[in-house]
Chains A and B, each alone.
Chain A
Amino acid sequence: MNNGAVLTVSDLRVYYDTDAGTVKAVDGVSFDLRPGERLGLVGESGSGKSTMALALMRLHKPPARIAGGEVLLDGVGDVMKLDDDGLRRIRLDRLALVPQGAMNSLNPVMRIRDQLADGIRTHEPGDTRDDLAERIQAQLARVGLDAEVGGKFPHELSGGMKQRVAIAIGTSLSPSVIIADEPTSALDVVVQRQVMETLRSVQEELGASVLIVGHDMGLMAQIADRMGVMYAGKLVELAPVHDLFTNPQHPYTRLLIESVPTLMAKRALASIPGAPPTLINVPPGCPFHPRCPSAFEPCDSEVPLPTAQNGRVVSCHLYPGEAA
């Protein structure tokens, strides 16, 4: 299995059991995360991208459950099979989360320094009080915050500062994998740019790999090395970011790129006809076929399997090839 990847996800399935039926939020997703890379994962709301990000750390909440697949973390093994203790040990230490909307993930009645100390003390209890204070200060400096921020409460900080605190906490134990779930979705453009620059510099300094989940194609184009596109719980395409934008293969990827307005040229805005399916009633065959302009005979009955071609993976009947 080991192709040098830090994290290898194979055929991951996360289902929600609801009264109305089984929702297949993540339905057979496979990819690997290489050392030091920034992998972007885009999808519309309901595509399963956030469910997947959380499930990688087994942070999904019931009624979501892992229905199959494995997530191999380099040097640890299958995260899906770890017991509670093993899971506790790798979280934050090896596999860290920078959550969506830091405003809601910080404890409102705890000072920032205590929230940072919490994780460090749990995993590495040996530090003296002075050592710990020094580490916290260094960690705040690393994300571009003054030492005095440590003494503040979350409500005293701006949105961008809170998101930096979340990055500081997430990277406090130098994890090898950072999972960032829409890390800047509620921020203004200038602040977003600053926070992403911070995330990038911390990640490069640590040599960590990062999986960035989001919906903003522009942000992904600027930050990711490789990029994956999710649709209805499936990863439909995965390619180096430059290839994906200049030569998208999957019709959904192509339409998604065309629907993004740019400052380059004024043009009639394109949109993808129809609406994304609800994940209870995913269309048979390729889930995108009812909206796909290139759909042909096998698309409404056979699920396209991922095929590999020149460093990219695409799941579409237009590209028959070697199974990935």
Chain B
Amino acid sequence: MADAKWGMVIDVDKCTGCQACVVACQSENNVPINTEDIFNQRRAIEWIRVERYWEGEFPDVKARFIPVLCQHCDDAPCEPVCPVFATYHNNEGMNVQIYNRCIGTRFCANNCPYHVRYFNFWEPEWPDTLTHQLNPDVTVRSRGIMEKCTFCVQRIRRTSREADRDGREIEDGARELSPACVNSCPTSALVWGDFNNKNSKVSNLAEKEMSHNGSHHGRGYKMMENLGTSPNVIYLKKIDKHAKETVAHE
């Protein structure tokens, strides 16, 4: 598993904005409950969030959804600015956060162009009825530290450990391996896997949809590519006959 390069392909065309991924992520990763009060304070924690944009003028209004999570950039801007190495790149292509080291300078969160790093402004609390619902495989983060999407690293670790023990191979796209958001997506808009495995679904999608040698045929793009962060998340753009091509940065 050491030479895996985990990544995701998000088909924006398939996303219905149902927020199942958000809820799945919250319960899998012990993310504190975002109450109305927390939202109004603008301190909600959502490791994956579905952003909703309105397009067009009334009555021709269309809702557009885009799920945004940590892009696990190869050249992550959050990593060099942390004074205590609380965030670093592991050898599986993931950007990981070490909660014990974090002292909460919030430097990484400022430097993330995707705004996917979340700070624990308060001590997280769950109602009594939900305390037994917490995932024992995931640390409950205390106040004063940063947290972010881990690609459900606990699932990767458990699955590879069990596979090693039983002497079997892990198949691409196995439910036990995939992050909670991917498993919960009803339209399979999220696809997750190993970019180093040439036969994986994500590799095939990347091969098909991303540009090669300057020619661009597919729908694939990486978010804010102009910043040079080399994300490991590929977005496939929406299919819309009436949409006009706009170029933001050239």
A binds B: no
B residues contacting A by CB (< 8 A) are: none
Residues of A within 8 A of B (CB): none
